[in-house]
Amino acid sequence: MLRSQERSGWCPVPDPGKPVFNHIAVSVPSDQLDERGRREIVDFYSEVFGWQELDMMTLDRKRLVLGAYLIEQFVFIHSDDEPMRAPKMDHFGMGVATEEELDTFLERAKAYQRRDPRVRIIDKHTDDYTRLSLVSFYVGYLLPLMVEVQYFRYN
């Protein structure tokens, strides 16, 4: 699905004809992107998922971009006078290679939740589809969309 190519020395790129999703964009109130608000968002998503602020993209009260593992994969957070509102189960998904990796993310989210009750977690569950089981949990923090972490277990 992805092939390696020397683009800044390390970025995998999609095979021709097999495009991949590369980002999600959400809007929040501008007050949420002041220095304190950005720190809260960065601290959580960095500690739980390892995402990092792309500080060259940051604009106070306007924009925050979190790099998610690859330079071409990111969460774009911007301010808007009419910010995004979403029902609690609206989310975007992130796949992991092993159930142990999923469990690690879940434990990190639960540890953060013990310090900050604003963390919302829908605990790990498994949906069985005969030949395939989908193991997942949801977590949300300060953004209008939750993150669903998924592991596909082939039965």
- Whether residues 56 and 105 fall in one domain: no
Choose among 144, 128, 134, 31: nearest CA to 92: 144
Q: What is the pLDDT of residues 114-139, one digit of tens each?
A: 999 999 999 999 999 999 999 999 99
Q: Is residue 85 part of a domain?
A: no
pLDDT value at position 11?
A: 55
**Rounded to an integer, what is the distance from CA 25 to the centroid of its chain?**
11
Q: Is residue 8 part of a domain?
A: yes
- Whether residues 49 and 95 fall in one domain: no
Q: Is residue 84 part of a domain?
A: no
- Domain of 13: which CATH number? 3.30.720
Encoding tokens for residue 154? 């082939």
Strand-strand pairing, 146-154 and 91-95: parallel
Residue where a domain stops, chosen among 39, 57, 79: 79
Count other C-beta atoms under 10 Å from residue 26's C-beta: 17
Q: What is the pLDDT of residues 11-30, one digit of tens each?
A: 566 678 777 789 999 999 99
**Rounded to an integer, what is the distance from CA 75 to the centroid of its chain?**
7
Please enumerate in sequence order all residues whose Cβ is within 8 A of that of 72, keeping only pairs 6 or more positions apart, or say none. 11, 13, 22
Q: Is residue 86 part of a domain?
A: no
Q: pTM score, two decimals?
A: 0.88
- Domain of 143: which CATH number? 3.10.180.10
pLDDT value at position 2?
A: 44
**Structural domain that includes position 105:** 91-154
